[in-house]
């Protein structure tokens, strides 16, 4: 089975205040999160502390980055999605943490379950602190943002969904970076 892919990267910077007004829908989005098996079981997933939810506030701009992952093999089963996304996701999450260091902003980066603990279970269900608090970042969804709306209205990308255990035409990873810089690299 050929799991090779090509990627296309999109980014757009907007005013943070208008971004929040336009794309934040925390009650509806958390309702979807509550249906996930990771809800309350991983430090990157809701419910999140007020400190985590407000970590990106106080900045003026939000740069959204989306990576479209396009499988070469159009017949892949849907259960290969995580495998295909993982290398791109690992690279993107590292880039987001590096951007925090370089520009002094805050990333909203993780999509799906957190990968930081590897084969070990997350400590959250045990009532213990996160093993990687310096690296863990919640996703846009975990912070109550409507990623479908962001992808479509801000980036002009339609999110595709798999059907009948078939991979969609492409997968999309979307993250964001809150900052106060006039010029940041958008070469993600």
Query: pLDDT band at 74, cuts 50/70/90?
Result: confident
- Tell me what pLDDT residue 30 has: 92
Gyration radius (Cα) of the chain, Å: 16
Distance CA 46, CA 14 (A): 25
pTM: 0.91
Looking up tokens 């050929």, which residue turns up? 2
Using a 10 angstrom Cβ sphere, with 0-12 exposed, 13-18 middle and 19 or more buried, the burial of residue 36 is middle
| 187 or 182: which leads in pLDDT | 182
pLDDT, mean of residues 3-17: 93
């Amino acid at each position: 089975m050929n799991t090779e892919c090509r990627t296309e990267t999109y980014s757009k910077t907007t005013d943070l205040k208008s971004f929040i007004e336009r794309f934040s829908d925390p009650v509806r989005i958390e309702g979807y999160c509550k249906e996930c098996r990771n809800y309350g079981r991983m430090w990157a997933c809701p419910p999140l502390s007020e400190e985590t939810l407000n970590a990106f506030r106080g900045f003026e701009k939000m740069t959204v980055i989306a990576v479209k992952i396009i499988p070469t093999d159009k017949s892949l089963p849907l259960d290969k999605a995580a495998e295909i996304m993982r290398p791109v996701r690992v690279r993107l999450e590292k880039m987001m943490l590096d951007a925090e260091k370089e520009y002094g902003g805050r990333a909203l980066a993780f999509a799906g379950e957190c990968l930081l603990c590897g084969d070990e279970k997350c400590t959250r269900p045990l009532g213990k602190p996160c093993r990687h608090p310096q690296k863990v970042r919640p996703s846009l969804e975990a912070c109550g943002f409507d990623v479908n709306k962001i992808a479509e209205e801000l980036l002009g990308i339609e999110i595709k969904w798999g059907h009948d255990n078939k991979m969609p035409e492409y997968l999309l990873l979307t993250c964001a970076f809150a900052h106060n810089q006039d010029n940041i690299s958008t070469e993600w």
